[in-house]
Each structure stands twice: as structure tokens, then as C-alpha cells.
A and B are shown apart, each in its own frame.
Chain A
Amino acid sequence: MINLLYPLLTKEIPTDLSDEDVVIEYLKSNNVAFFDILYKRYSGKVFGKCLSILKSENEAEDAMQEIFMKILLNLSKFSGRSKFSTWLYSITYNFCIDSIRRKKKDKSVLVEDLSSEHDTAEDDIEDRFIMETNVKRLKVILEELPAGDKAILLMKYQDDFSIREISEMLTKSESAVKMKIKRAKQKFKKLHSELFDNTL
């Protein structure tokens, strides 16, 4: 019966609401149709991130299901201090990184080397070089990069998060995040030259 009424119940829901307004409406009405709006807006992006980090479609599906169930059950905890997308991506990245840590029983996915912040590596790799790497090569390089480096590059270049936002998401200091980005960019460049004929 509910299935038959569902289209009628959802007919009146405006789809041009901001994410934050959709969350408020969901909390007021408990109508799952509002959650569906958020799902439609973000499921593709969340799946892409899960797939990039976890490298397997099945694992990405399982992760996405758990992430959205987590979101659904914790929507009341969304304080609105950040954008909804920032909150959602923060949960996504942390879930995927934790999942890899559990799998590898390795706690250093994003902690590695952060203590030595005063290394001499030069940050001479331009953002433009990384962003303009063609999509096929980008896929190959991302496949090869360690999960932590991949996640941080996605946060910076795909989601346009600021250093401050990334540091809040990963609960690291801003200088640690800057160092992590620098190292990830170096690994990216190294892989690029190793895999594609040293064209640099």
C-alpha cells in the first residue's frame, strides 16, 4: 500500500532545496523521500571515491551502503557547521581509510612520516601538471598510489577542500596536511614518469 502511495507522497517535495534544507525537512517529517534526494545527488560521487580508494566494485558497494546507512541514522547529528557535502565526504574518506587499515592491520595509512615535517623536498610540482594529466593516465596513477595519498589528492583536486577543511576532516594539523599533500604530489609525479616514458 505504501509502495502504491509513495509516488503521491513524494509528488509535492521540491527538489531544488539546498542539501541543508533537505536535511532539516527530513528531520521534521522523517520522510525517506528527502533522504532519496540526498542519495541521488551524492551516490555517484561517493561511489567514485570508494572505488578509487578501495579498488574493488564489490567493496565500494558495501562501503557505500554502510556510509549511507550511517548518514541516515546520524542525520540528527549533522550540526550544519559545515556544508552537508563536506560532512558526507569526511565520513566517506574516513570510512574507506579505516576499512583499508582494518584490512591491512596497518595503522599508518595516513599517519606515515608526518612526524618529520622539516624535510627538504621541494614543492615544485604545479597543481596544473596534476590536474591536466589525462583521465586514462590519472586512473592508472591513482590505482598505483597508496590509499592515503590518493584520498588526500582527491580531497584537494576533486572536492576542492581547503587545507583547513582537510585538517579538520582528518584531525591532523594544517602543516601535517600540507606535508602530506606535498608527498602525495611527489609520488604522483614519480609514478607518472615511471609509467609514461619519462616524458617530464
Chain B
Amino acid sequence: MRINNFKELEREQIVQYQKNTDKVHKSISSNVGILGFIGDIFELYLSRIFGLFISATGGSPTEPDNKNNNGRPKYPNTI
């Protein structure tokens, strides 16, 4: 088999710097956690933010009522 000490160097570095990679892993996990949390918050309150924006611009964030249905129910199967 052909000797390649570049590969040997790589193997040594993997063993030698295990602590550094673990440290970076913790840091990445914490960043991912924070990003996920911000994402969840944003998702949870997105509709309210839109509602607030609509209110601020003079609109009504609530559903329009069915004035144009001529008194008929919305779904045919409901009485």
C-alpha cells in the first residue's frame, strides 16, 4: 500500500483536536437552539404582527362578516 503521510497527519489531527471540535459543536448547537427559538416565536406571533400592521394602517384584522350571503348558510350541509 502506498504511504501517504498527509492522511496520517489528518488522522493525528482528528484525535488531537477532539476537544476543539466538541467545543465548537456545543457552540453550534446553542446557536441552532437560539435560531429555532426565534423562529418559533416569530411563527407564533406572525399572525398577530400582521394583524397589528393591518390595524395600524386602518384596516380590520378580523374576518369580514357574510353580509353578501343573503342570509344563506355558508356551507350547504349546515342548517
Interface residues, chain A, with chain B CB atoms under 8 Å away: 32, 35-36, 39, 43-45, 47-48, 51-52, 57, 60-61, 64-65, 68-69, 72, 128, 131-135, 138-139, 142, 153-154, 157-158
Contacts and interface: CB of A to CB of B under 8 A. Distances in A.
Contacts of B9: 48, 135, 138-139, 142, 158
B21 A131 contact: no
B3 interface: yes
B21 A47 contact: yes
Contact of B18 (A44, A64, A132): A44
Contact of A158 (B6, B20, B21, B28): B6
Contacts, number: 78
B14 A69 contact: no
Q: Main SS of the interface on chain B?
A: helix
A64 B15 CA distance: 16
Contacts of A128: 2
B2 A131 contact: yes
Interface in B1-52: 2-10, 12-15, 17-18, 20-21, 23-25, 27-29, 31-32
A61 B28 contact: no
A68 B24 contact: yes
A138 B10 contact: no
A60 B3 contact: no
A192 B50 CA distance: 66
The interface size bin for chain B is 20 to 34
B6 A131 contact: yes
A65 B20 contact: no
B14 A44 contact: yes
A36 B51 CA distance: 38
A193 B18 CA distance: 33
B3 A131 contact: yes
Contacts of A36: 25
A45 B7 CA distance: 10
Contacts of B2: 128, 131
Given A32-B32, A47-B13, A65-B28, A135 B20 contact: no
A37 B6 CA distance: 24
A127 to B, nearest CB: 9
B42 to A, nearest CB: 15
A105 B66 CA distance: 66
| Chain B CB within 10 A, most for which of A39, A47, A139 | A47
Contacts of A132: 3-5
